[in-house]
């Protein structure tokens, strides 16, 4: 999954299409993410010690990760994401539109580093 916690994404489908938000949680086993302010539902709560009034709580529910695009800071739009290795052997995410870096995925590894000719 190319989306991580704290990323900014734009929703492409559903009732919240066009909405941008921050990723709060990633559920990789279900291929879903929770985005701040998207897919909100009301949970009816009975009165209890913690909430003596009871009532309705508004919370975000997960959406499928395929329904969002990662926001590229240089393009300022939702873009497709690729993975590549840098010269020092670190794996990074990059924007398929402009080629800009979107964050690292792993530490530098000698097996993937480019060999310098000396």
Q: Would you say residue 3 lies in a domain?
A: no
Predicted confidence at residue 103, as pLDDT, reads 86
Q: Would you say residue 118 lies in a domain?
A: no
Q: Would you say residue 34 lies in a domain?
A: yes
Q: Would you say residue 1 lies in a domain?
A: no
Predicted confidence at residue 23, as pLDDT, reads 96
Whichever domain contains 108, its CATH number is 2.30.30.30
Instruction: Calculate the alpha carbon distances from 8 to 14, 77, 112 in Å.
Output: 18, 10, 29
- Average predicted confidence (pLDDT) for the chain: 91
Q: Would you say residue 69 lies in a domain?
A: yes
> For residues 68 and 43, what is the distance between their CA atoms, to the nearest angstrom?
24
Among residues of the chain, what percentage have pLDDT more than 90? Answer: 68
Strand locations in 1-118, DSSP E? 8-11, 20-27, 32-35, 40-45, 55-60, 63-64, 68-72, 77-79, 81-85, 91-95, 101-104
Q: What is the pLDDT of residues 72-102, one digit of tens each?
A: 989 889 999 999 998 888 999 999 989 888 8
Q: Would you say residue 59 lies in a domain?
A: yes
Q: Residue 69's CB: how many other CB atoms inside 10 A?
A: 18
Instruction: Indicate whether 37 pLDDT > 70.
Output: yes
Contacts of 80 by beta carbon, 8 Å cutoff, 6+ apart: 69, 95, 96, 97
Q: What is the pLDDT of residues 17-31, one digit of tens each?
A: 999 999 999 999 999
> For residues 75 and 52, what is the distance between their CA atoms, to the nearest angstrom?
48
Predicted confidence at residue 108, as pLDDT, reads 85
- Can you give the residue range of the structural domain that contains 64? 8-112
Q: Would you say residue 77 lies in a domain?
A: yes
The count of domains in the chain is: 1
Q: Would you say residue 2 lies in a domain?
A: no
């Amino acid at each position: 999954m190319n989306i991580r916690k704290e990323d900014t994404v734009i929703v492409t489908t559903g009732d919240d299409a066009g909405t941008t938000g921050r990723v709060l949680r990633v559920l990789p086993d279900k291929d879903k993410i929770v985005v701040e302010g998207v897919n909100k539902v009301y949970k009816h709560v009975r009165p209890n010690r913690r909430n003596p009034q009871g009532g309705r709580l508004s919370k975000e529910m997960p959406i499928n990760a395929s329904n969002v695009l990662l926001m590229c800071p240089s393009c300022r739009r939702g873009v497709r994401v690729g993975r590549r290795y840098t010269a020092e052997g670190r794996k990074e995410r990059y924007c398929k539109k402009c080629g800009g870096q979107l964050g690292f995925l792993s530490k530098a590894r000698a097996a993937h580093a480019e060999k310098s000719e000396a």
